[in-house]
Amino acid sequence: MRNLTLTIAIGLMLAGCNTVRRGTESTVTITAHPQTARIWTSLGHECPRSPCVLQIERKAEFTAYAEARAYEQGAVEVKTQVSSDAAPGVIGNAILPGGSVGLVVDVATGAMLDHSPNPAHIQLVPVRRGRRSGPAGS
């Protein structure tokens, strides 16, 4: 009975291996050219210029936008994908007693995910100045 209790306790302590090891947030870097571009995200984050370094929940997908004077506004979508770095935690959850609880925790918190692209870059395009036409009939 004591061995069973110890096994359960260890399993519960190690539950959510990726959540413990990798955390539920990651650092995402967004750059833009020109560097004077203001950057903001669909999640409400803002940076006055490039680069923009943010802490974002691992499970959050978002769009980053950039704008600068004399340039067209640009955007990049940042998605999530299962991280190859999360494999040890998944394996641990699979072989440890109580690991299924850890797997559920990791999926719920997004601890198995990484943002892509990271870093994300937005290349702004200069505004085209329209050519003026002469007066009608000239």
Query: What's the pLDDT band for 15 if we cut at 50, 70, 90?
Result: very low
In a domain, 100, yes or no: yes
Query: How many domains does the chain fold into?
Result: 1
Residue 16 token pair:
């959510």
In a domain, 9, yes or no: no
In a domain, 136, yes or no: no
In a domain, 1, yes or no: no
Please choose, from the candidates 4, 13, 1, 5, the residue with its C-alpha nearest in 3D space to the C-alpha of residue 93. Answer: 13
36: amino acid identity, one letter: T
The share of the chain scoring above pLDDT 90, in percent, equals: 49
Q: What is the pLDDT of residues 69-117, one digit of tens each?
A: 999 999 999 999 987 765 555 555 555 545 455 556 666 676 788 899 9
29 vs 109, higher pLDDT:
29
In a domain, 70, yes or no: yes
CB neighbours of 88 closer than 8 A, spacing ≥ 6? 17, 21
Q: Vertex 115, ends 110 and 121: CA angle to 5°?
A: 160
* Full residue range of the structural domain in which residue 43 is found: 15-123
The pTM of the full predicted model, rounded to 2 decimals, is 0.70
Q: What is the pLDDT of residues 47-63, one digit of tens each?
A: 999 999 999 999 999 99
In a domain, 99, yes or no: yes
**Rounded distance, CA 100 to CA 64, Å?**
35
In a domain, 49, yes or no: yes
